[in-house]
Structure 1
Amino acid sequence: MSSYDATVPALLQILGSLTGILNKAEAHCSAKKIAPEVMLGARLYPDMLPFSKQVQLVSDFAAKGCARLTHSEVPSMPDTEKSFEELRQRLAKTIDHVKAFKPAQFEGAGTRDVTFPAGPDRTMTLKGQAYLNNFVFPNFYFHATTAYDILRHNGVEIGKRDFLGVN
């Protein structure tokens, strides 16, 4: 399997499903008379990041991960979203960004050195395959799952099929 085939479809599946989950969360807020900012700021635990930041990080790991694997320009995406609509727009931009990558750009990506930030004053370098499997995917799925969990914990009626985007 090519690096492109292992990366792009998996990222697009969850980015798409997260868009659908956002729609259900917004409808839930409307139906239950919950202020959207309450759901957007919801956390599983006080020291965890809020729902909106979880979505932003999913977006970051998808877009920046592809860029670094292909040695392309890493996009800058300020975290300014304050509504469901703004988060949907961010996901749409991320989906467009990921879709724009071509299989040829990923040729040799598994053995390329990828240098990336690993904290405020530190970088790491891994081979592309290790970067994808040990950094991009775990972080991408962690934040997607945490976003899902926050909504489910707050009563949004979503399930595994919503997370997988197979409804």
Structure 2
Amino acid sequence: MANQEINEIKRIFTSRLDVLEHILSIGEQHVADADALMQERLAEDMHPFGTQIAFVCNQPRGFAQWCADQPIENFGAEVGSLAQARAHIAATKEMIAGITADDSKLDEVKHLGLGPGRFADLPARQYINDFLMPNVYFHISMAYAILRKLGAPIGKADYMTFLAPYVQVEA
């Protein structure tokens, strides 16, 4: 199959965005002012919850744009409402679903800007495995940790919801 690897990447991104939606729903149920949740942080020098949402979305979003040979246009860091967070997730899922590149795209080199005067040129598979995926997991983990800090009833099973279809019970 010419798109086996790309389809697997799409599946992973989509299922991890589902986790993010699930975490967001727990936050909405637990925090009285869901829009104020967007400004909660683990530490003063860390990005707030809303920014964690944007940064999770920016990874698969950038991948979709790269696959389409488009310039990378990230969501801004300011996510001020629950509605905006949900809209970012929905828009990102649409972008992922629209990826039409075949697996040969993964044979290319990705030029990765890392801030003023810094970059890395990575083979696409390394770009995905060493940059995109760790960033997705990091920012989902930070959103999860912010909710834990606020006392939300959230656990590892909420973080790993993508495994639920595979869970079996011994007889």
- 8 Å CA contact 1:109–1:129 kept in 2: the answer is no
Pair 1:120 & 2:116 matched? yes
- 8 Å CA contact 1:110–1:127 kept in 2: the answer is yes
- 8 Å CA contact 1:118–1:124 kept in 2: the answer is yes
Where structure 1 has 5 or more consecutive residues not aligned to the other structure, the ranges are none
Pair 1:140 & 2:136 matched? yes
RMSD of aligned alpha carbons: 2.0
Aligned-pair identity (%): 25
Q: Greater shift after overlay, 73-82 or 49-58?
A: 73-82
Query: Which residue is equivalent to 2:29?
Result: 27
Find the aligned partners of 2:37 and 2:116 in 1 and give their Cα distance. 29
2:126 pairs with 105, 130, 134, which one? 130
CA distance 1:76–1:53, change in 2 (3 Å): closer
- 8 Å CA contact 2:42–2:146 kept in 1: the answer is yes
Pair 1:45 & 2:43 matched? yes
Find the aligned partners of 2:102 and 2:113 in 1 and give their Cα distance. 21
1:7 pairs with 6, 9, 15, which one? 9
The aligned length equals 160
Match runs of 1:73-152 below 5 Å: 73=70, 74-102=72-100, 105-152=101-148
Amino acid across the alignment from 1:110: L
Taking structure 1 as the reference length, the TM-score comes to 0.85
Query: Which residue is equivalent to 2:151?
Result: 155
The CA deviation string for residues 15-55 of structure 1, in whole angstroms up to 9 with x for no partner, is 0121122122111113xxxx334421111122111111111
Match runs of 1:49-68 below 5 Å: 49-68=47-66
Find the aligned partners of 2:75 and 2:38 in 1 and give their Cα distance. 18
- 8 Å CA contact 1:13–1:164 kept in 2: the answer is no
The CA deviation string for residues 106-138 of structure 1, in whole angstroms up to 9 with x for no partner, is 322332011121113333211101101111111
Query: Which residue is equivalent to 2:169?
Result: none
Find the aligned partners of 1:76 and 1:137 in 2 and give their Cα distance. 16
Once the 2 structures are TM-superposed, how far is the Cα of residue 141 of structure 1 from its aligned partner? Answer: 0.9
Find the aligned partners of 1:158 and 1:76 in 2 and give their Cα distance. 28
Once the 2 structures are TM-superposed, how far is the Cα of residue 148 of structure 1 from its aligned partner? Answer: 0.9
Taking structure 2 as the reference length, the TM-score comes to 0.84
Once the 2 structures are TM-superposed, how far is the Cα of residue 80 of structure 1 from its aligned partner? Answer: 4.1
**Bigger relative CO (Cα 8 Å, ≥ 6 apart):** 1
